[in-house]
Amino acid sequence: MDSILIALSDSVSSKAVLEYVLSMSICPESVEITLLHVFRKPSGGEELMGKKYMKQQPARYMDILERARDRFMEKGVPKKNITLKMVTEPYDTIADGIIHQARQIRPSLVVIGRKRMSKAEEFVLGDASIKLVRALEDMAVLVVKVI
């Protein structure tokens, strides 16, 4: 059975990932899909939003994963073939979390989104998609680029 790990958040690139994978020709009965959200350590700005804001985040992201599951079920993927995985223990970066989870799950394909960045942003922030492709060289990685 083929397995797909799809990293999701509330970003534009995650919405593009979901739409792209939903448009792929897959055999719904023979694919296992893991919808993943990992948390990174909060930034100072996020911590300033307060404890109430931080406590609401897991429920907010679980809702995103559940809506994505519903979309796959509409496409014919049985509910039993879809796993929702939210890792609330924060990683230093989202890329670190996805890499760690992918190595545990060992999917046939890892799908991530990539937003458009300027060369300066890429230099300063780094490119998580490049980090994933390099770190998961023993797995297929599909990067969906938002234009």
What are 52-77's pLDDT values in tens digits? Answer: 656 677 888 999 999 999 999 999 99
Q: What is the pTM of this model?
A: 0.84
Q: Read off the pLDDT band of 123 (50, 70, 90).
A: very low
Report how far apart, in Å, the C-alpha atoms of 118 and of each of 55, 124, 127 are: 33, 10, 11
**What is the per-residue pLDDT for 89?**
87
Q: Which residue has the tokens 């993943």?
A: 36
- Structure-token match 């939003």, residue found: 49
- Rounded mean pLDDT, 9-38: 90
- Residue 85 forms part of a structural domain: no
- According to the model, what pLDDT value does residue 132 have? 85
Is 46 inside a domain boundary?
yes
CA angle 135, 140, 143 (to 5 degrees): 80
Domain count, the chain: 1
- Is 112 a member of any domain? yes
H-helix or E-strand containing 90?
strand 82-91
Asked, for residue 43, whether it belongs to a domain, the answer is yes
What is the DSSP-derived secondary structure letter of residue 115?
Answer: -
Give me the chain's average pLDDT, please: 84
CATH code, domain with 41: 3.40.50.620
What's the pLDDT score for residue 124?
44
In a domain, 94, yes or no: yes
**Residue 22: predicted pLDDT:** 93
Is 44 domain-assigned?
yes
Question: Could you tell me if residue 138 is inside a domain?
Answer: yes
H helix intervals, 8-136: 12-23, 44-48, 51-74, 94-105, 119-125, 128-135
Token pair of 111, please?
């799908």
Per-residue pLDDT at 121 exceeds 60 = no
Which residues pair with residue 86 across a beta bridge? 37
Domain containing 113: what range?
A: 2-80+90-145
Instruction: Read off the pLDDT of residues 87-111 as tens digits, 9 standing for 90 and up.
Output: 988 888 889 999 999 999 999 999 9
Confidence class for position 5, pLDDT limits 50, 70, 90: very high
- Angstrom distance (rounded) from CA 83 to CA 32: 8
Q: Exposure pattern of 5-43 as b/e (b: 16+ CB <10 Å)? A: bbbbbeeebbbbbbeebeeeebeeeebbbbbbbbbeeee
pLDDT cut 70: percent of the chain above it: 81
Q: What is the pLDDT of residues 137-146, one digit of tens each?
A: 899 999 888 8
Identity at 128, one-letter amino acid code: A
Q: What pLDDT does 59 receive?
A: 85
